[in-house]
Each structure stands twice: as C-alpha cells, then as structure tokens.
Amino acid sequence: MGISKKPLIIVIVAIVAVLASASMIAMSLIQSTMTQATTTKPPEISGIVNGAGATFLNPQMQAWASKYYELTKGRIQVNYQSIGSGAGQAKFREGVLDFAGSDPPLKADIYQEFKEKGGIIQFPIIIGTIVIVHNLPNVESGKLKLTGEIVAKIYLGEIMYWDDPRIKELNPELDLPHEKIIAVHRSDGSGTTRVFTAYLAKVSEEWKNKVGSDFTVSWPVDQLGNGVGGKGNEGVAAAVKQNPYSIGYVETAYAYEVGLKTALIRNRDGNYVLPTRETVESAAKALVQILPRADEDWSNVFPDETVDAPGRESYPITSYSFIILRQVYDDPVKVAILKEFFHWVLTEGQKDENVVRGYEPLPPEVAKIGLDGLELLRTA
Amino acid sequence: MSSGKIFYNTLTFLVFISLFIVIAVVISLSVTSYPIFLRDGLFFISKSVWNPVKEEYGILPALLGTLITSTLAVGLATPLAISLAVFSAEIVPPRFRALINNISDLMASLPSVIYGLWGLFILAPILNEYIMIPLHRYLGFIPLFSTKPVPTNLFTASVLLAIMIVPFASSIIREAYSAIPYYLKEAAYSIGLTRWEVIKIAIGYVKSAIFAGLFLALGRAMGETVAVAMVVGNIFNLPKSLFDMGYTIPSLIANQFPNAEAYNYMVPALYGGALMLFLIGLVINFFGLYLIKKVMIKS
Amino acid sequence: MNKRKIIEKLMLGVISTLAVISAIPIFAIMFNVYAEGLKHVNLSFLIDLPPPPVGDRVGGIGPALVGTFTLVSLAMVIGGAIGFFTGLYLSEFSHTKLSQYTQMFLQIMVEFPTIIIGLFAYTILVAPIKRFNALAGGFALSIVIIPYIALNVREAYKSIPYTLKEAAFSLGVSAPVAYLRILLSTARRGVLTALLIGMAKVAGETAPLLFTILGTTFTYFGGLDQPINAIPLLIYNFALSPYERWHQVAWGAAAVLLTIILLIFIVSRLIVKEVKL
C-alpha cells in the first residue's frame, strides 16, 4: 500500500479552482461588455428589474425582453422567469420581485391588502387562447364541431361515447365511432384551467354548481376512470397524442407546434369558430366596455365575465395575461425602467413582428388600460 | 487539548450541523403544515380528495402512490444495481471498467426533467405496447393488472424510477465490492471455488453496503419529483391496480405548488404531505435497522 | 464439479445480462441527448445569451453555464465539506447515539422532495434580504448534497479492512493524520466517487433552484446576492415550451452539462489511482 495522500485533495482543490476561475473569467468578460454598453449611452437610466410568474406568458416576455435589450444595447435588462402565476403573485407580495406576471388578476382580498399599502396596478399585456383538441383517427383537424355545454358534459362524465346523439346531432357529416371519450386535463394548477373552467361554468349551470372554476378542480370524469391528467400543456398534448379517442384543452401554440387536431367551438352567437386573429380581436373588442381601470379590482371581471364574449365572430375561450405592479417603489431607477419598458410593450410590443406565434396582440383600446395605469407609478 | 481531541470535536460539530439542518427542515415542515392537521386531523391522510375550489384536501392516493412506486422501483432496481456493480468490479475487462463506472455515475447528473421527457415520449409508449398491454390481456384477471393501461401510470413511473436509482445504489455497492481485500478472494479461489461462488461470498461480505445503497435508492425514489410527475398520470383516485394512473407526494407537490399560494390551505396540505414522507422514512428506517441487525447477527 | 461449472456459467450470464439491461437506458438517453444536442453546440453557444423563442438569433447558454459553475462550486465547498466529515464520523464513531441518529435522519433526508429544500432556503436566505440570490441556491444545493456525500463516504471508510485501521493507529500518528492521510489514501477511490456522485446529483437539480436563484436572461454573474441562472433550470423552462428553438437550446445545454461532468469524472479518476489491497 503506497501512502500517497495528496492526489485526492489536489483533485478537489483543482476542481474547485477550475470552476471558480471559469466563472471569474466569464464574469469579467461580461462585465467588460456591459460597461461598454453603458459608456456609449451615459445620460440614460440603466439597470435590471426582476419579475416572475405565469408560465404561459414566459415565451412572449422573453421575446420582448430580448428585443428591448437589443434596442437599448443592454441598458435595460428585464429579467422574467416562469414560476407559475400563484407563486409569482405570492413572491411579489412578499416583496422579492419588482413585478409579477399572472394569468388571473389578484384575488379581491389581496387586491384590498395592496390598496391599503400604497396601491397596485394590474393590466392585460397580451391575449392568449385555449383551443379544444382531439384525437379522433378519422376526423380531420378543424372539422369536429362542439358546444361549450357538450364539452362540459364530457368532463362531467355524462357524455361518455363519441357517437352520443348530442355530438352526432352537431356533426351529421362525420362518422363518429362508438368509443369511450378519454378526457385529458391539466394535472398541475394553472391559469389555463382557471380560464377553461370559467368558460364551462359560464355555459353550463351544472358545471358551475358541481365543479366550479379554479387553478385546479376536482374532475368528475376522473372518478369514472375516463380522465387523464397531464402536467403542463406539453403533458396534455402528449396525453392527447398517445391516447386515441381523447379530447383535451391546450394553449393554442401547443396545438399547432405539436400538431394536434383542433375542434370548432360554438360561440354565443351560434357560429363555429377557431382561434384566429379576427375571432380573438372580435372577442376583445366586445369586452372593452366592461374592463376596469388598471388601479381597480379585476377579480370579479376576469375570467368569469370575459369568457364567452358576444359578437358574431368572437372566439369564446380567450385569456389575458396580466402584469402586476406596485404604484410606489423606493428606487426611482426601477420606476423609470418599468415605465419605459412596459410603455414600449403596450405600443411597439403589440406589433406583429414582436408578437410570438400562439399569442394575439391587444387591441389599442385594451392596451390603453395599461398605458393609463403606468402614469400612476411613482417613487416613495 | 490534543490534536485528536480537536479533530474529534470538529467532526462532532460538523455532524451536529448536518443533524441540525435536517431537524430544521422537519420543523419548517411541521410548522407550515400545522393548520391542515389542526383543521382536518387524521382525515387529511385517510381521505381521497383534492378539491381546491372547496379547499378540501385528503392525500391518501398520493401516499399509496408513493409507497407503490418506490417499493416496486427498489424491487426492480435491486438485482440490476447488484449485477451492475459486480459486473463492473468482477466480470468486465479492466480497461472498460472506468468507462462503465463513469457513465453509470454520470447518470446521476442528468436533470430529472430529461428523464421525465425521455420517460414520457419514449419509455411510456414502449412499456405500454410491449409489456403493459400484453400483461393486461393475458393476466388481466389478476387484480394488479386489471386496469386497461394507458402509457402514463404507476407502473411506468416505477420503471422510470428504477432506471434513475440504479446508479446511486450501484455506486455504493461497487465501491465496497472493489475494496474487498484481494487476499480474501485469493484465498477463496485457492480452495477451488468457482467465480460465482467467490462472487456469492463477496456479496455476503459487502452486505452492509448493499443495504446502504438500497436505502439511499429507496429514499431517492420516494423523493423524486419532476420525472415522476411527467409519467405517473396525475389522477387523484385511489389506485386499484398497477396500471392505474396515480399521484405520488412529490409529484403532487410539483403539480400543485406553482399556484398553491393562491389558497389558504393548499400550502399546508402540500407540506403535510412532505411531513408524511418524513414519518414514513422514520418507520422504514427503524424497520430497516431491525432487519439489518437480524441479517448481520445471522452471518 | 461439472454442475458447479454450469451454475457458474449460468450465473455469470445472468449477472452480465442484468448489468447490460440496467445500462441500456443509460446509453439510450445519452445517445438521445448527444444526437439531439451536439449539433447545436459550438463556442458561441457556450457564451451567448439565451435566445427568444422565435427570430433569427440562435443564442446560447452563457449565463446558465456560469451559474451552474458557481452553484456547484458553492455546494461542493459547503455541502461537500460538511458531508465528508459527517460521513467520516458516521463510519468511525458509529457506536455513538449522535452517529446513529444522524445517519437515520440523513437517510430520510434523501426522501424530501428537493423543492421543499428550496423553499426552506427561500425562507432563510431569500425572504429576509428581499431578493432572489445565488447564495440561497448554493445553500439549497449544499443541503441536497450532504446526505449523498455523507452516506457514500461512510461506506468508503467502512470498507477499509479493520486490520489496516489498526495498523494506521499503531504507527503512533495523531487522529487527523490517521484519518485524513493514511486511511483517506486507502479509501480515496470511494471518497472520490462519493464527491463525484454528489456533484453530479446537484449539477442536475432543478427543483431547489426554482424558488432560490430565480434565473436570469441577460446577467451572467451579478454577485452572490443577485439572481443567477443554472443549466437544469434553463433546460426545465425551455424543454417544456412549445417552441422548436428552445427545444434545441435545451438539448444542447443537456449535452454540454453531460460533457463537462464526464470530463471532470475522467480527469479526476485518472489522477486518483485505484488502491489494490
């Protein structure tokens, strides 16, 4: 046995040293590029703001943040991370975030709490849509017609087979099989489920009484053994793909990127629609009158009043993503950055070239809610 | 004070830090979950309901799911981990040994989301097609296989967990195995034993390491979060067969935590679930210690 | 005699088959990761900022790479040290009550969903300073790493034959010398494996980071009291999105992570030679 004590210690020291020096080198490299960026534009404000929240909003926020980072040559860094709407709101409330992104607005009691502590503003930043998808082998995408009531009955477990007369009646031209419907839903708490169940509750009294609307609900269809839970949109998309004769609901981007078949859904005026720029815009415009101001409580309006919007063209399951800000910040630099960035997002950011596939821009009337709200931002 | 004394005291101090951290985590679990136990008492663990709309939480299905998947995973992983360790230390030609060990240990570093995605898109369909559907078709009369399988369920989660924990168990066993003094093996060979017989003796010699490895693997299986959440099916129902979709406590936490803080009792309920994991761990450990003692005395 | 030979062949066959079976998924996943990932990896991929989901910029994983180096170093320094000495104690003073309780608690700690440990770190290190920060992430990873290292180190020291331990102490050296020089050099392979396994484990952890480091898009390193990114976090966010560009970056990041860790493994194992007893 040779007593060579050193190698192990040397290795450990070496590993730590390599790791540390690698990060140092990278750091200094970056620091130099950053100082470059700031020295070229000396008089303007520069800095970082940290936000987090809704997962749904994340890709669009990254696109905006990257674009604005380039436009300002690194002067303004908006750091947004997806941790979930509920967590985003909670961490924002605990004061560790500068802003929160959220699918639903603040609940009434939390809104009140903020109002008493210096005020809050919350405004829509982008529109998302939820689309019904299915895996019927013989039916093409965009052909199956459904109503909200039928979808509710499927998830209630009352309609169990595809050849149920109530589905056949809407689709006389389709050859629907006598197969059990597997109802796929989100297993994780999500804003998507909140909006989807708000829609079901609005069109079906029975759903409203038996199930209700929330981030997660207790799915009646699960108790019959015909439900499948998927974690996240990608989990639902995978489950619909892997299970023939299934039905599900996902954010529209996932339906198209994964290649799922979509179903038409009947809107309030009796037309069968898919989410498109026109149908989403129609729904948004129909709602402008009922939307509150940025400093008001949104909890009783969205999403329970905004789903199933009137209008011949309107798509019924649209969802807003919200940005939540305090009215008063300690740091004047943060106020300036937040104002500047979100002003850009609500104007330039809504143009086609800055909107990511799967999202729809706000009509100017709705964007104005946020623009007016930003005026309330101030320093302590 | 002698250097030995100082050394011993430093060691003891560091051990206390380890112990203190675990206890601090357990205390934070207890404090945070207290409201749900105060409100529901033991119904919290004996009911099957997850209904945030009415703030009703009873985690029995997730508890059962955790026990089923982790037990099955360790059952599947035990022969694999021992074989892999013995294979690497005894059978494989020495120049490939390092490669096998490195790759096996490397598996610990794959982010569990990668295991999850691989499990969801590749493992689950294969298991469904070639194992679960045939099992259901021919042995469906056995309650264990009675549910018509879908790709993501408790069984898929168990297999994925087994794959994930093999490297952990195997590395402990392997290191102990290769530390067996050479003269012991030589002595065994010199009395004319075959390689298999020597391996048997050697396995007996590292029994404690095997237990340690499997304990680590069991804990790892019970605590795995993201990967399981992607393949376990995530249906809140009491499981009746292996092919039912289900939940585990960690996958419940992974699914529900991002929006849990929007409710009054969901965070306590999720922490309560984690606290139950701790209590199960305590029971298993006492049982395990008892078992080890028995085995050790016998040999 | 013949029967014994047949049993030998049979059992060696069974062991080899099982070993190969357990290695198949390992190779399958690695193959997937490299097949999907390597084509996106080049120097600028290692340095650049992550890209937006659509657009021309290919982007890279610069901040996440720096972050993972920082966090793993922190975890190895804090958790590695505590874990190593705890493991040594558990092996050499196994008769004490402290040892027995600690071992039991550490074994249970492996069961805690790591997100819980992240939340614990949030309470202690994020909430009080009102900012997500790198140190909280390093602290959470340290906690995660301790049981893995301690339990592995314990086994490494326990596998040293008793006669050798007696011999070491009969040399008349002090306890630190005996444990940290003579016996460590005997158990060095096992100890090294313990450290490597622990390092690998935390290098791939996502859950403890979700509520500690937050993540960054444009900042590589802003100080230990500022948010930071990490490769597993980036993979988690990008892999679960619908966008092809982000999927590519996620695969590329996984390939980079595996390669770095594989390199550390190989190099450190080449330096620390096996002990033949």
Residue numbers in C near A257 (CB within 8 A): 242-244
Give the pLDDT band of residue A2 (cuts 50, 70, 90): very low
Closest CA to C80 of C199, C176, C231: C199
What residues form DSSP beta bridges with B283? none
Element (H, E) at A126: strand A120-134
Q: In the CATH scheme, what is the homologous superfamily, with its name and number, of domain A130-280?
A: Periplasmic binding protein-like II (3.40.190.10)
Q: What is the DSSP string of B5-31?
A: HHHHHHHHHHHHHHHHHHHHHHHHHHH
Per-residue model confidence (pLDDT) at position A41: 44
Per-residue model confidence (pLDDT) at position B102: 86
pLDDT per residue as tens, chain C (277 positions): 588 889 989 999 999 999 999 888 888 898 989 999 999 899 999 999 999 998 878 899 999 999 999 999 999 999 999 999 999 999 999 899 999 999 999 989 888 899 899 999 999 999 999 999 999 999 999 999 999 999 999 989 988 888 888 888 888 888 888 888 888 888 898 899 999 989 998 999 998 998 999 999 999 999 999 999 999 999 999 988 888 899 999 999 999 999 998 888 888 888 887 665 5
Q: In the CATH scheme, what is the homologous superfamily, with its name and number, of domain A47-128+291-303+318-379?
A: Periplasmic binding protein-like II (3.40.190.10)
Closest CA to B246 of B48, B102, B29, B44: B48
Range 76-115 of B in CB contact (< 8 A) with C: 79-81, 83-84, 86-88, 91, 98, 100-115
Chain C within 8 Å of B141 (Cβ-Cβ)?
A: no
pLDDT digits (tens, 9 = 90+) for A136-177: 999 999 999 999 999 999 999 999 999 999 999 999 999 999
Stretch B3-21: mean pLDDT: 92
A324 CB-near residues (< 8 Å, 6+ apart): A53, A89, A92, A99, A100, A101, A102, A105, A106, A120, A121, A122
Is pLDDT above 60 for A35?
Answer: no
For chain C, which residues make up each domain, given as ranges?
Answer: 3-40, 44-48+55-271
CATH number of the domain located at residue range(s) B3-298 in this protein? 1.10.3720.10
Please give the Cα distance from A222 to A184 (Å, whole number). Answer: 9
The distance of B228 to chain A (nearest Cα, Å) reads 10
CB A188 within 8 A of CB A216: yes
Element (H, E) at A346: helix A332-346
The amino acid sitting at B20 is F
Residue numbers in B near C97 (CB within 8 A): none
pLDDT digits (tens, 9 = 90+) for B70-79: 999 999 999 9
Give the pLDDT band of residue B298 (cuts 50, 70, 90): low
Closest CA to A219 of A249, A183, A194: A183
Per-residue model confidence (pLDDT) at position C182: 87
In this prediction the ipTM stands at 0.88
φ/ψ bin of A258: left (φ > 0), alpha (ψ from -120 to 50), beta (otherwise) = alpha
CB A211 within 8 A of CB B259: no
C1 CB-near residues (< 8 Å, 6+ apart): none
Q: Tell the residue number behind the tokens 């520069």, with chain if given.
A: A46
The distance of B181 to chain C (nearest Cα, Å) reads 5
What end-to-end distance do the CA atoms of chain A give, in Å? 71
Chain A within 8 Å of B262 (Cβ-Cβ)?
A: yes
Give me C5's structure tokens. 């030979």
> Quick one: angle between helices B3-40 and B266-298, nearest 10?
130
Interchain CB distance below 8 Å, A26 and C264: no
Phi, psi of A123 (to 5 degrees): -150, 150
CB A145 within 8 A of CB A170: yes
pLDDT digits (tens, 9 = 90+) for B147-190: 888 888 999 999 999 999 999 899 889 988 988 888 888 898 89
Residue numbers in B near A86 (CB within 8 A): 258-262
Q: What's the gap between Cα B268 and its chain centre?
A: 24
Please give the Cα distance from A370 to B20 (Å, whole number). Answer: 49
Element (H, E) at B188: helix B182-190
The amino acid sitting at C92 is E
Please give the Cα distance from C131 to A98 (Å, whole number). Answer: 9
φ/ψ bin of A69: left (φ > 0), alpha (ψ from -120 to 50), beta (otherwise) = alpha
- The helix, strand and coil proportions of chain C, stated in percent and rounded to the nearest 5, come to 75, 0, 25
The distance of B79 to chain A (nearest Cα, Å) reads 31
Is pLDDT above 50 for A126?
Answer: yes
When scoring A79, A241, A353 by the number of chain C Cβ atoms within 10 A, the one with the most, hence best to mutate, is A79
Give all chains having 3 or more CB-to-CB distances under 8 Å with chain C. Answer: A, B
For chain B, which residues make up each domain, given as ranges?
Answer: 3-298
pLDDT digits (tens, 9 = 90+) for A292-350: 999 999 999 999 999 999 999 999 999 999 999 999 999 999 999 999 999 999 999 99
Give the pLDDT band of residue A1 (cuts 50, 70, 90): very low
Chain B within 8 Å of A244 (Cβ-Cβ)?
A: no
Interchain CB distance below 8 Å, B49 and A231: no
pLDDT digits (tens, 9 = 90+) for B54-111: 899 999 999 999 999 999 999 999 999 999 999 998 888 888 888 888 888 888 778 8
Give me A165's structure tokens. 């007369």
The distance of B188 to chain C (nearest Cα, Å) reads 15
Arithmetic mean of pLDDT over chain A: 89
How many CB atoms are closer than 10 A to CB A175?
11
Per-residue model confidence (pLDDT) at position A10: 63
pLDDT digits (tens, 9 = 90+) for C19-55: 999 888 888 898 989 999 999 899 999 999 999 998 8
The distance of A138 to chain B (nearest Cα, Å) reads 21
Closest CA to B68 of B128, B136, B158: B158
Please give the Cα distance from C149 to C264 (Å, whole number). Answer: 17
Per-residue model confidence (pLDDT) at position A4: 44
Stretch A93-104: mean pLDDT: 94
Is pLDDT above 80 for A5?
Answer: no
How many residue pairs bridge chain A and chain B with CB atoms within 8 Å of each other?
107
CB C81 within 8 A of CB B14: yes
Range 170-199 of A in CB contact (< 8 A) with B: 182, 187-191
Cα pseudo-dihedral C11, C14, C16, C18, rounded to 10: -140
Residue ranges, comma separated, of all CATH 3.40.190.10 domains in chain A are 47-128+291-303+318-379, 130-280
Please give the Cα distance from C200 to C266 (Å, whole number). Answer: 13
Residue numbers in C near A20 (CB within 8 A): 69, 73
Please give the Cα distance from A311 to A281 (Å, whole number). Answer: 10
How many CB atoms are closer than 10 A to CB B238?
11
Is pLDDT above 60 for A216?
Answer: yes
Query: Do you find a cis peptide bond into A303, omega within 30 degrees of 0?
Result: yes
Q: Tell the residue number behind the tokens 């104002």, with chain if given.
A: A339
Give me A267's structure tokens. 């809107």
Please give the Cα distance from B101 to B90 (Å, whole number). Answer: 13
Residue A17 is classified by DSSP as: H
Per-residue model confidence (pLDDT) at position B169: 92
Is domain C44-48+55-271 annotated with CATH 1.10.3720.10?
A: yes
Element (H, E) at A365: helix A364-374
